[in-house]
Amino acid sequence: MLDIRFIRENPEIVRENIRKKFQDAKLPLVDELLELDGKNRAAITEASDLRAQRNALSKANGPLFGKLKKADELEKISIQAQIDENMAKVKANDARREELEKQEEVFAARIHEILLQIPNIIDPSVPIGPDDSCNVEVQRFGEPLTPDFPIPYHTEIMERFNGVDMDAAGRVSGNGFYYLMGDIARLHSAVLAYARDFMIDKGFIYCIPPFMIHGNVVEGVMSQTDMDAMMYKIEGEDLYLIGTSEHSMIGKFIDQILPEASLPQTLTSYSPCFRKEKGAHGIEERGVYRIHQFEKQEMIVVCRPEDSMAWYEKMWRYSVELFRSLEIPVRQLECCSGDLADLKVKSCDIEAWSPRQQKYFEVCSCSNLGDAQARRLKIRVKGEDGRTYLPHTLNNTVVAPPRMLIAFLENHLQADGSVTIPAVLTPYMGGKTLLVPNK
């Protein structure tokens, strides 16, 4: 969310940013906002003047009441008339002031609604394009391999280990759910545990956050469009199931004033995640690729504005380092303007190599949101000079095992159907270096 003062002073920059994000339908919102802002400020000024006049009239009546007690009958008539005139003005002013205050409420509500819809100003380095087809590959890490044997679909690999049961999950919960079993379930947990320790070794504080959050936190961390597409609401409660632990992790600081010396706040969290995942999906997004429930290790940073881009660079590189330690080739993909959610200043995806599909697919997403979430959630920092300012917030996927398992199994599958376990994961797998299929 942008500062309304910035929009007021830089309306053309805001309009151009909307055009760069290919959201021209939102251009009229800028004009509406500026008009409402002008009316709102005028109403505030007039109401303030009326309050001052009321105070002045009330103050003027004080001495008049004193004179009234001592005056003769003729003087009382004149003094009482002046008092009555002042009281009539106060009454008229009060009626107008109440009307203005109601107008202020209406104006403020609509202004807030519009501010939630206007996208954040993107970083100048963001490539311009309407959708993810315009995302730009920046760098590759590791050599993508093409095995000389066919690689089955990921659920087929899992089934060879009796490691997944989609049918039972369908009976119990419906489409988009799964049972993981045996060595595959253990591999899932091993990856999460390794990712947790990996981030702790990077100096992040480990956290298990709430898995449900209030509506004002949801509004603070994401756009209305994303909220409607992703979030499950608890019926009859002001609670939503989190779609990622970033939501409750950033929400931890709502309405807080942080001492500057406490920055950066670097947290890594485990949580289950719940997503509607509306719409139809292709064959490659079935199985455990796009699901309603999964588990994830996340990282978030709250830092000084001048440090956020350096943290952005560190965070996506942590993902690359983790996947390379698991011997999975990856690439960094810079997200274009049209592919950025409204709160994001800059974002990139880390994509893992799929030997089966002979292409990369998304496994991590790293984002710098500037001060947008901090402004929405009223997170402030008190500097050494005593002044407060808004920090920047960032988030990045450490690892989301169901999707990551696809990359892992495909890249470690052997011709005989076995799956190798890299050295860094062996301690979390009870010393196993190889998984042998049951069938």
334 domain-assigned:
yes
> Would residue 127 count as lying in a domain?
no
Q: CB-based contacts of 349: which residues, under 8 Å, 6+ apart? A: 135, 332, 333, 335, 362, 364, 365, 366
> Which residues neighbour 168 within 8 Å (Cβ) at sequence distance 6 or greater?
179
Together in a domain, 76 and 204:
no
What stretch of H or E contains 365?
strand 359-368
| Residue-number span of the structural domain to which 248 is assigned | 132-435
* pLDDT at res. 72: 62
The DSSP 8-state label assigned to residue 361 in this structure reads E
Do the domain assignments include residue 120? no
Q: SS3 sequence, 249-298?
A: HHHCCCCCEEEHHHCCEEEEEEEEEECCCCCCCCHHHCCCCCCCEEEEEE
Residue 435's alpha-carbon distances to 130, 156, 430, in angstroms, are 44, 15, 12
CA 112 – CA 32 distance, rounded (Å): 12
Contact 149, 355 (CB under 8 A): no
Q: Note whether 347 and 362 are within 8 A (CB).
A: no
Torsion angle (degrees, nearest 10) of CA 324, 326, 327, 333: -40
Residue 195 and residue 76 share a domain: no
* Contacts (Cβ under 8 Å, ≥6 apart) of 86: 57, 58, 60, 61, 64
254, 377 contact by CB (below 8 A): yes
Is 123 within a domain? no
Tokens of 330: 């990856």
Separation CA 33–CA 5 (nearest Å): 11
In sequence order, what are the beta bridge partners of 435? 419
Q: Which of 394, 406, 397, 262 is nearest to 328 (CA)?
A: 406
Could you tell me the CATH number of the domain that includes residue 426? 3.30.930.10
Residues 151 and 56 in one domain: no
Contact (CB, 8 A) for 302 and 392:
yes
Based on the fold, state whether residues 106 and 142 are members of the same structural domain: no
As beta bridge partners, residue 272 has 295
Q: What is the pLDDT along the chain (439 residues), one digit of tens a residue?
A: 899 999 999 999 999 999 999 999 999 999 999 999 999 999 999 888 887 777 676 666 666 666 666 666 667 767 667 766 767 777 777 788 888 989 999 999 999 999 999 999 999 999 999 999 999 999 999 999 889 999 999 999 999 999 999 999 999 999 889 999 999 999 999 999 999 999 999 999 999 999 999 999 999 999 877 777 889 999 999 999 999 999 999 999 999 999 999 999 999 999 999 999 764 444 444 678 888 999 999 999 999 999 999 999 999 999 999 999 999 999 999 999 999 999 999 999 999 999 999 999 999 999 999 999 999 999 999 999 999 999 999 999 999 988 899 999 999 999 999 999 999 999 999 999 999 999 7
**DSSP three-state, residue 360:** strand
The predicted pLDDT at position 60 comes to 62
Residue 18 lies in a domain: yes
For the beta carbon of residue 399, count every other beta carbon within 10 angstroms: 25
Per the CB < 8 A criterion, the answer to whether 276 and 230 are in contact is: yes
| Interatomic CA distance for residues 372 and 360, integer angstroms | 31
Last residue of a domain, one of 80, 115, 150: 115
In the chain, what's the furthest Cα-to-Cα distance?
116
| Measured distance CA(157)–CA(413) in Å, rounded | 9
> Are 86 and 142 found together in one domain?
no
* 287 shares its domain with 399: yes
In a domain, 122, yes or no: no
Give the angle 387-388-390 at the CA atoms, nearest 5°: 145
For position 83, what pLDDT does the model report? 65
323 shares its domain with 184: yes
pTM > 0.75: yes or no: yes
User: What number of H helices and E strands is found in the chain?
Assistant: 13, 18
Residues 220 and 349 grouped into a single domain:
yes
Cross-strand partners of 298: 269, 397
Among residues 56, 89, 115, the one where a domain terminates is 115
Question: Does residue 104 contact residue 47 with C-beta atoms inside 8 Å?
Answer: yes
The reply to whether 280 falls in a domain is: yes
**What total of structural domains would you count in the chain?**
2
Kindly state whether residue 126 falls inside one of the protein's structural domains.
no
Amino acid occupying residue 373: Q
State which amino acid sits at residue 14: V
Q: Indicate the residue among 115, 145, 174 that finishes a domain.
A: 115
In a shared domain, residues 308 and 372: yes
Angle in degrees, CA 354, 357, 358, rounded to 5: 70
**Residue pointed to by tokens 């600081």:** 253
- Do residues 36 and 111 touch, judged by C-beta distance below 8 A? yes
Q: What pLDDT was estimated at residue 281?
A: 45
**Closest C-alpha among 118, 105, 117 to residue 36:** 105
CB of 348 closer than 8 Å to CB of 433: no
Judge if 14 and 74 occupy the same domain. Answer: yes
pLDDT at 75: 73
- In the chain, what is the straight-line distance between the N-terminal and C-terminal CA atoms, in Å? 54
- Same structural domain for residues 216 and 139? yes
Tell me: do 352 and 389 sit in the same domain.
yes
Per-residue confidence (pLDDT) for residue 230, from 0 to 100: 85
What is the domain-level CATH number for residue 79? 1.10.287
Q: What is the DSSP letter of 128?
A: P
